[in-house]
Amino acid sequence: MSEEMRVTVERLGHRGDGIAEGPIYVPGILPSEVVEGVVDNGVMASPRIVTPVEDRVSPPCRHAKSCGGCQLQHASDAFVEGWKSDVVARALAAQGLETEQRPCTTSPAQSRRRAGFSSRRTKKGALAGFHAKASDVLIAVPDCKLVRPRLAAALPLAEALAVAGTSRKAELTVQMTDSEAGLDVSVTGGKIIDDDFRVTLAGIAQEYDVARLAWDEEVLTLRPPFQTFGSAQVVPPPGAFLQATQEGEAKLLACVTEALNGAKHMLDLFAGCGTFALPLARLGRVHAVEGSKEMVLALDKGWRMAEGLRHVTHEARDLFRNPLLPDELTRFDGVVIDPPRAGAEAQVTQLAKARIPRIAFVSCNPVTFARDAKILTSAGYRLDWVQTVDQFRWSTHVELVAQLTLAKS
Protein backbone atom coordinates (compact mmCIF):
# COMPACT_ATOMS: atom_id res chain seq x y z
CA MET A 1 0.00 0.00 0.00
CA SER A 2 1.36 3.41 -1.02
CA GLU A 3 0.86 6.55 1.05
CA GLU A 4 2.05 10.17 0.78
CA MET A 5 3.85 11.05 4.03
CA ARG A 6 6.07 13.66 5.68
CA VAL A 7 8.71 12.20 8.02
CA THR A 8 11.84 13.20 9.90
CA VAL A 9 14.86 10.97 9.47
CA GLU A 10 16.26 9.84 12.82
CA ARG A 11 19.42 7.96 11.90
CA LEU A 12 21.42 6.26 9.15
CA GLY A 13 21.27 2.53 8.54
CA HIS A 14 24.35 0.41 7.87
CA ARG A 15 23.83 0.88 4.11
CA GLY A 16 23.70 4.66 4.39
CA ASP A 17 19.94 5.07 3.96
CA GLY A 18 18.07 7.44 6.26
CA ILE A 19 15.67 5.71 8.66
CA ALA A 20 12.53 7.38 10.02
CA GLU A 21 10.06 6.07 12.57
CA GLY A 22 8.21 3.05 11.30
CA PRO A 23 10.79 2.13 10.16
CA ILE A 24 10.67 3.99 6.88
CA TYR A 25 13.81 3.84 4.74
CA VAL A 26 14.72 7.01 2.85
CA PRO A 27 17.77 6.81 0.55
CA GLY A 28 20.05 9.82 0.28
CA ILE A 29 18.72 11.58 3.39
CA LEU A 30 20.62 12.59 6.54
CA PRO A 31 19.51 12.52 10.19
CA SER A 32 17.17 15.39 11.23
CA GLU A 33 16.17 16.14 7.63
CA VAL A 34 12.43 16.46 7.02
CA VAL A 35 11.23 14.87 3.79
CA GLU A 36 7.98 14.03 2.08
CA GLY A 37 7.05 11.58 -0.60
CA VAL A 38 5.26 8.34 -1.38
CA VAL A 39 6.02 5.46 0.98
CA ASP A 40 5.64 2.01 -0.54
CA ASN A 41 6.38 -1.09 1.54
CA GLY A 42 8.34 0.96 4.06
CA VAL A 43 10.50 2.77 1.49
CA MET A 44 10.30 6.40 0.34
CA ALA A 45 12.18 5.92 -2.92
CA SER A 46 11.89 9.49 -4.22
CA PRO A 47 11.95 11.85 -1.24
CA ARG A 48 11.54 15.62 -1.51
CA ILE A 49 13.60 17.48 1.07
CA VAL A 50 11.52 19.94 3.07
CA THR A 51 14.15 20.87 5.64
CA PRO A 52 17.82 20.11 4.88
CA VAL A 53 20.58 20.04 7.47
CA GLU A 54 23.89 21.92 7.41
CA ASP A 55 25.85 18.72 6.77
CA ARG A 56 24.17 18.27 3.38
CA VAL A 57 26.56 19.10 0.53
CA SER A 58 26.44 18.96 -3.23
CA PRO A 59 27.96 15.64 -4.38
CA PRO A 60 31.39 16.32 -5.89
CA CYS A 61 30.91 13.66 -8.58
CA ARG A 62 28.44 14.13 -11.43
CA HIS A 63 27.71 10.39 -11.37
CA ALA A 64 26.63 10.36 -7.71
CA LYS A 65 22.87 10.19 -8.28
CA SER A 66 22.99 7.19 -10.60
CA CYS A 67 26.15 5.30 -9.64
CA GLY A 68 26.09 2.78 -6.81
CA GLY A 69 29.80 3.09 -6.06
CA CYS A 70 29.33 5.72 -3.31
CA GLN A 71 26.57 6.06 -0.73
CA LEU A 72 27.45 9.25 1.17
CA GLN A 73 28.59 11.94 -1.25
CA HIS A 74 25.67 14.11 -0.12
CA ALA A 75 27.16 14.36 3.40
CA SER A 76 30.00 16.56 4.63
CA ASP A 77 33.34 14.96 5.46
CA ALA A 78 32.89 15.93 9.11
CA PHE A 79 29.51 14.18 9.24
CA VAL A 80 30.82 10.98 7.62
CA GLU A 81 33.85 10.85 9.90
CA GLY A 82 31.64 11.35 12.95
CA TRP A 83 29.14 8.74 11.77
CA LYS A 84 31.87 6.15 11.16
CA SER A 85 33.34 6.82 14.60
CA ASP A 86 29.85 6.35 16.06
CA VAL A 87 29.53 3.00 14.25
CA VAL A 88 32.69 1.87 16.01
CA ALA A 89 31.50 3.25 19.37
CA ARG A 90 28.17 1.42 19.10
CA ALA A 91 29.90 -1.86 18.23
CA LEU A 92 32.16 -1.50 21.26
CA ALA A 93 29.28 -0.55 23.55
CA ALA A 94 27.34 -3.65 22.46
CA GLN A 95 30.17 -5.71 23.97
CA GLY A 96 30.49 -3.52 27.05
CA LEU A 97 33.81 -2.04 25.89
CA GLU A 98 35.05 1.51 26.39
CA THR A 99 38.30 3.09 25.25
CA GLU A 100 39.91 6.18 23.77
CA GLN A 101 38.59 6.78 20.26
CA ARG A 102 40.97 8.74 18.11
CA PRO A 103 39.51 11.03 15.42
CA CYS A 104 38.72 9.31 12.12
CA THR A 105 41.21 9.90 9.29
CA THR A 106 39.96 9.87 5.70
CA SER A 107 41.81 9.15 2.46
CA PRO A 108 41.59 11.98 -0.08
CA ALA A 109 39.45 11.97 -3.20
CA GLN A 110 40.85 10.17 -6.25
CA SER A 111 43.15 8.03 -4.09
CA ARG A 112 41.71 4.52 -4.49
CA ARG A 113 44.41 2.47 -6.20
CA ARG A 114 42.29 -0.60 -6.89
CA ALA A 115 38.75 -0.99 -8.17
CA GLY A 116 36.54 -3.69 -9.59
CA PHE A 117 34.83 -2.42 -12.75
CA SER A 118 32.10 -4.27 -14.61
CA SER A 119 32.14 -4.34 -18.40
CA ARG A 120 29.54 -5.48 -20.93
CA ARG A 121 29.24 -5.58 -24.69
CA THR A 122 26.57 -3.41 -26.31
CA LYS A 123 25.19 -3.03 -29.84
CA LYS A 124 27.65 -0.23 -30.54
CA GLY A 125 30.66 -1.56 -28.65
CA ALA A 126 30.90 -1.90 -24.88
CA LEU A 127 30.21 -0.14 -21.59
CA ALA A 128 32.34 -0.21 -18.43
CA GLY A 129 31.79 1.28 -15.01
CA PHE A 130 29.93 0.56 -11.78
CA HIS A 131 26.42 -0.72 -11.22
CA ALA A 132 23.58 1.68 -10.51
CA LYS A 133 22.20 1.69 -7.00
CA ALA A 134 20.43 -1.63 -6.23
CA SER A 135 20.50 -2.59 -9.91
CA ASP A 136 22.37 -4.64 -12.50
CA VAL A 137 22.35 -1.62 -14.84
CA LEU A 138 25.87 -0.43 -15.68
CA ILE A 139 26.75 3.25 -15.31
CA ALA A 140 29.74 4.73 -17.12
CA VAL A 141 31.89 6.75 -14.69
CA PRO A 142 34.57 8.53 -16.77
CA ASP A 143 34.89 11.33 -14.19
CA CYS A 144 34.92 9.12 -11.08
CA LYS A 145 36.15 11.13 -8.08
CA LEU A 146 36.91 8.03 -6.02
CA VAL A 147 39.66 6.21 -7.95
CA ARG A 148 43.06 7.39 -9.08
CA PRO A 149 43.03 9.18 -12.45
CA ARG A 150 44.94 6.31 -14.06
CA LEU A 151 42.13 3.91 -13.16
CA ALA A 152 39.38 6.27 -14.31
CA ALA A 153 41.19 6.71 -17.61
CA ALA A 154 41.38 2.93 -18.06
CA LEU A 155 37.66 2.36 -18.64
CA PRO A 156 38.27 2.06 -22.42
CA LEU A 157 40.58 -0.86 -21.60
CA ALA A 158 37.76 -2.61 -19.72
CA GLU A 159 35.49 -2.00 -22.71
CA ALA A 160 38.07 -3.40 -25.15
CA LEU A 161 38.36 -6.54 -23.02
CA ALA A 162 34.58 -6.98 -23.09
CA VAL A 163 34.42 -6.61 -26.87
CA ALA A 164 37.16 -9.17 -27.30
CA GLY A 165 36.27 -11.64 -24.60
CA THR A 166 32.59 -11.90 -23.81
CA SER A 167 29.11 -12.12 -25.30
CA ARG A 168 26.38 -9.51 -24.92
CA LYS A 169 24.66 -11.76 -22.38
CA ALA A 170 27.66 -11.94 -20.08
CA GLU A 171 29.48 -9.43 -17.88
CA LEU A 172 33.16 -9.17 -17.13
CA THR A 173 34.60 -8.26 -13.76
CA VAL A 174 37.76 -6.27 -14.38
CA GLN A 175 39.83 -5.77 -11.24
CA MET A 176 42.36 -2.98 -11.80
CA THR A 177 45.22 -2.05 -9.50
CA ASP A 178 47.54 0.89 -10.00
CA SER A 179 51.04 -0.51 -9.50
CA GLU A 180 54.36 1.28 -9.70
CA ALA A 181 54.95 -0.30 -13.12
CA GLY A 182 51.51 0.48 -14.53
CA LEU A 183 48.10 -1.14 -14.51
CA ASP A 184 47.74 -4.61 -12.99
CA VAL A 185 44.54 -6.10 -14.44
CA SER A 186 42.73 -9.30 -13.46
CA VAL A 187 39.64 -10.40 -15.44
CA THR A 188 36.99 -12.99 -14.60
CA GLY A 189 33.72 -13.98 -16.25
CA GLY A 190 34.95 -14.07 -19.85
CA LYS A 191 35.24 -16.72 -22.52
CA ILE A 192 37.61 -19.66 -22.39
CA ILE A 193 41.07 -18.73 -23.59
CA ASP A 194 42.71 -20.27 -26.68
CA ASP A 195 45.77 -19.53 -28.81
CA ASP A 196 44.07 -16.90 -30.98
CA PHE A 197 42.65 -15.14 -27.94
CA ARG A 198 46.07 -15.09 -26.28
CA VAL A 199 47.35 -13.11 -29.25
CA THR A 200 44.38 -10.74 -28.96
CA LEU A 201 44.99 -10.19 -25.25
CA ALA A 202 48.67 -9.49 -25.86
CA GLY A 203 47.70 -6.82 -28.37
CA ILE A 204 45.24 -5.20 -25.95
CA ALA A 205 47.84 -5.22 -23.16
CA GLN A 206 50.38 -3.49 -25.39
CA GLU A 207 47.89 -0.97 -26.76
CA TYR A 208 46.80 0.13 -23.28
CA ASP A 209 50.28 -0.15 -21.70
CA VAL A 210 49.22 -2.78 -19.15
CA ALA A 211 51.94 -4.08 -16.83
CA ARG A 212 50.19 -7.41 -16.21
CA LEU A 213 46.97 -8.90 -17.56
CA ALA A 214 45.44 -12.00 -16.00
CA TRP A 215 42.49 -13.70 -17.70
CA ASP A 216 41.22 -16.19 -15.15
CA GLU A 217 44.26 -18.46 -14.66
CA GLU A 218 46.18 -17.21 -17.70
CA VAL A 219 48.74 -14.49 -16.90
CA LEU A 220 50.48 -12.21 -19.38
CA THR A 221 53.20 -10.06 -17.80
CA LEU A 222 54.90 -7.25 -19.67
CA ARG A 223 56.42 -5.61 -16.56
CA PRO A 224 56.32 -6.86 -12.95
CA PRO A 225 53.56 -4.82 -11.19
CA PHE A 226 55.46 -3.92 -8.02
CA GLN A 227 53.98 -2.60 -4.81
CA THR A 228 56.31 -1.17 -2.16
CA PHE A 229 55.98 -2.26 1.46
CA GLY A 230 58.59 -0.48 3.55
CA SER A 231 61.89 -1.01 1.73
CA ALA A 232 60.68 -4.13 -0.10
CA GLN A 233 59.20 -4.35 -3.56
CA VAL A 234 56.58 -7.08 -3.90
CA VAL A 235 54.75 -8.45 -6.93
CA PRO A 236 51.36 -9.64 -5.56
CA PRO A 237 49.54 -12.53 -7.27
CA PRO A 238 46.86 -11.39 -9.75
CA GLY A 239 43.81 -10.02 -7.91
CA ALA A 240 45.51 -10.29 -4.50
CA PHE A 241 44.32 -8.20 -1.56
CA LEU A 242 45.88 -4.76 -1.23
CA GLN A 243 44.95 -1.89 1.07
CA ALA A 244 42.66 0.41 -0.90
CA THR A 245 44.76 3.60 -0.66
CA GLN A 246 48.40 4.36 0.06
CA GLU A 247 47.31 7.03 2.54
CA GLY A 248 45.13 4.57 4.44
CA GLU A 249 47.85 1.94 4.42
CA ALA A 250 50.36 4.45 5.80
CA LYS A 251 48.00 5.36 8.67
CA LEU A 252 47.33 1.72 9.51
CA LEU A 253 51.06 0.96 9.46
CA ALA A 254 51.85 3.93 11.71
CA CYS A 255 49.26 2.73 14.23
CA VAL A 256 50.45 -0.88 14.06
CA THR A 257 54.04 0.26 14.61
CA GLU A 258 52.96 2.33 17.61
CA ALA A 259 50.96 -0.56 19.06
CA LEU A 260 53.94 -2.93 18.79
CA ASN A 261 56.46 -0.45 20.18
CA GLY A 262 59.37 -2.31 21.75
CA ALA A 263 58.49 -5.75 20.35
CA LYS A 264 61.49 -7.62 18.93
CA HIS A 265 59.95 -10.89 17.70
CA MET A 266 56.64 -10.21 15.99
CA LEU A 267 53.90 -12.32 14.46
CA ASP A 268 51.80 -11.14 11.50
CA LEU A 269 48.53 -13.06 11.18
CA PHE A 270 46.57 -12.84 7.90
CA ALA A 271 49.75 -11.27 6.55
CA GLY A 272 48.78 -11.00 2.88
CA CYS A 273 51.78 -10.05 0.75
CA GLY A 274 53.59 -8.29 3.60
CA THR A 275 51.82 -4.97 4.08
CA PHE A 276 52.83 -4.95 7.75
CA ALA A 277 55.38 -7.77 8.02
CA LEU A 278 57.95 -6.24 5.69
CA PRO A 279 58.01 -2.71 7.18
CA LEU A 280 58.04 -4.21 10.70
CA ALA A 281 61.10 -6.26 9.75
CA ARG A 282 63.19 -3.11 10.09
CA LEU A 283 62.39 -3.19 13.82
CA GLY A 284 62.70 -6.88 14.63
CA ARG A 285 62.18 -10.45 13.50
CA VAL A 286 58.80 -11.28 11.96
CA HIS A 287 56.93 -14.50 11.30
CA ALA A 288 54.18 -14.04 8.68
CA VAL A 289 51.20 -16.38 8.40
CA GLU A 290 48.76 -16.22 5.50
CA GLY A 291 46.24 -18.65 4.00
CA SER A 292 47.30 -18.08 0.39
CA LYS A 293 50.51 -19.86 -0.60
CA GLU A 294 50.93 -17.53 -3.58
CA MET A 295 50.80 -14.43 -1.39
CA VAL A 296 53.28 -15.93 1.08
CA LEU A 297 55.72 -16.68 -1.74
CA ALA A 298 55.38 -13.10 -3.03
CA LEU A 299 56.12 -11.79 0.47
CA ASP A 300 59.17 -14.04 0.79
CA LYS A 301 60.59 -12.99 -2.59
CA GLY A 302 60.13 -9.32 -1.70
CA TRP A 303 61.95 -9.82 1.61
CA ARG A 304 64.86 -11.66 -0.01
CA MET A 305 65.39 -8.85 -2.53
CA ALA A 306 65.19 -6.04 0.05
CA GLU A 307 68.02 -4.56 2.11
CA GLY A 308 68.16 -3.66 5.76
CA LEU A 309 65.46 -6.07 7.00
CA ARG A 310 65.66 -8.50 9.89
CA HIS A 311 64.80 -12.16 9.44
CA VAL A 312 61.30 -12.84 8.09
CA THR A 313 59.93 -16.37 8.21
CA HIS A 314 56.58 -17.45 6.81
CA GLU A 315 54.02 -20.19 6.46
CA ALA A 316 50.84 -20.78 4.48
CA ARG A 317 48.14 -21.79 6.93
CA ASP A 318 44.35 -21.63 7.22
CA LEU A 319 43.94 -19.67 10.45
CA PHE A 320 40.20 -20.36 10.59
CA ARG A 321 40.53 -24.15 10.58
CA ASN A 322 44.02 -24.38 12.00
CA PRO A 323 44.82 -21.41 14.25
CA LEU A 324 48.20 -21.10 15.90
CA LEU A 325 48.07 -22.64 19.39
CA PRO A 326 49.52 -21.20 22.63
CA ASP A 327 52.68 -23.33 22.50
CA GLU A 328 53.38 -21.86 19.04
CA LEU A 329 52.59 -18.31 20.13
CA THR A 330 54.53 -17.84 23.34
CA ARG A 331 57.86 -17.08 21.58
CA PHE A 332 56.45 -13.78 20.25
CA ASP A 333 56.27 -10.50 22.16
CA GLY A 334 54.01 -8.70 19.67
CA VAL A 335 51.38 -9.64 17.12
CA VAL A 336 49.49 -7.83 14.38
CA ILE A 337 46.29 -9.47 13.19
CA ASP A 338 44.30 -8.28 10.16
CA PRO A 339 41.46 -10.75 9.50
CA PRO A 340 38.71 -10.51 6.87
CA ARG A 341 35.22 -9.26 7.72
CA ALA A 342 34.27 -12.45 9.57
CA GLY A 343 36.89 -11.67 12.19
CA ALA A 344 39.15 -14.30 13.75
CA GLU A 345 37.34 -15.76 16.74
CA ALA A 346 39.19 -19.10 16.70
CA GLN A 347 42.63 -17.51 16.44
CA VAL A 348 41.85 -14.76 18.95
CA THR A 349 40.76 -17.39 21.47
CA GLN A 350 44.22 -18.94 21.22
CA LEU A 351 45.90 -15.52 21.45
CA ALA A 352 44.01 -14.88 24.68
CA LYS A 353 45.45 -18.07 26.13
CA ALA A 354 49.00 -17.32 24.95
CA ARG A 355 49.05 -13.86 26.58
CA ILE A 356 51.39 -12.15 24.10
CA PRO A 357 52.16 -8.73 25.65
CA ARG A 358 51.14 -6.46 22.75
CA ILE A 359 48.52 -6.83 20.00
CA ALA A 360 47.82 -4.54 17.04
CA PHE A 361 44.37 -5.42 15.73
CA VAL A 362 43.34 -4.24 12.25
CA SER A 363 39.71 -4.78 11.25
CA CYS A 364 37.31 -3.98 8.42
CA ASN A 365 34.24 -4.87 10.51
CA PRO A 366 33.64 -3.08 13.85
CA VAL A 367 31.10 -5.71 14.96
CA THR A 368 33.40 -8.71 14.64
CA PHE A 369 36.30 -6.66 15.99
CA ALA A 370 34.32 -5.84 19.14
CA ARG A 371 33.40 -9.50 19.55
CA ASP A 372 37.04 -10.56 19.25
CA ALA A 373 38.30 -7.70 21.43
CA LYS A 374 35.88 -8.82 24.15
CA ILE A 375 37.56 -12.25 24.17
CA LEU A 376 40.90 -10.57 24.75
CA THR A 377 39.75 -8.12 27.42
CA SER A 378 38.02 -10.95 29.27
CA ALA A 379 41.40 -12.71 29.34
CA GLY A 380 43.19 -9.75 30.91
CA TYR A 381 44.00 -7.44 28.00
CA ARG A 382 43.38 -3.70 28.07
CA LEU A 383 41.92 -2.01 24.99
CA ASP A 384 44.11 1.10 24.99
CA TRP A 385 42.75 2.96 21.95
CA VAL A 386 40.92 2.58 18.66
CA GLN A 387 41.68 4.54 15.48
CA THR A 388 39.04 4.69 12.74
CA VAL A 389 40.60 4.77 9.26
CA ASP A 390 38.39 5.63 6.29
CA GLN A 391 39.98 4.28 3.12
CA PHE A 392 36.61 3.90 1.43
CA ARG A 393 35.63 7.54 1.15
CA TRP A 394 31.90 8.26 0.68
CA SER A 395 31.01 4.64 1.42
CA THR A 396 29.51 2.99 4.49
CA HIS A 397 32.56 0.75 4.91
CA VAL A 398 34.36 1.25 8.24
CA GLU A 399 37.91 0.19 9.11
CA LEU A 400 39.89 0.52 12.31
CA VAL A 401 43.11 -0.36 14.09
CA ALA A 402 43.43 -0.85 17.83
CA GLN A 403 46.09 -1.40 20.46
CA LEU A 404 45.63 -4.07 23.14
CA THR A 405 48.17 -4.70 25.88
CA LEU A 406 48.29 -7.32 28.55
CA ALA A 407 47.30 -5.74 31.84
CA LYS A 408 49.86 -6.14 34.62
CA SER A 409 48.61 -8.44 37.36
Query: Which residues participate in catalysis according to the annotation?
Result: 364
How are the residues of the chain apportioned to helix, strand and coil, as percentages rounded to the nearest 5? 25, 35, 40
d(Cα 387, Cα 257) in Å, to the nearest integer?
13
Q: How far apart are CA 151 and CA 292, in angstroms?
A: 26
- Residue 161 backbone dihedrals phi, psi, to 5 degrees: -65, -35
Specify the DSSP class assigned to residue 43. B
For residues 158 and 288, what is the distance between their CA atoms, to the nearest angstrom? Answer: 35
Answer whether 67's CB lies under 8 Å from 61's CB. yes
Q: Is 364 helix (H, G, I), strand (E, B) or coil?
A: coil
Strands (E), 216-284: 218-221, 227-229, 232-234, 265-269
Prior bond to 23 cis, omega within 30?
yes
For residues 134 and 123, what is the distance between their CA atoms, to the nearest angstrom? 24
- Whats the size of the chain, residue-wise? 409
HSE-up of 405 (CA within 13 Å, CB side)?
A: 13
Nearest to 222 by CA among 230, 214, 231: 214
CA–CA distance, 54 with 51 (Å, rounded to integer): 10
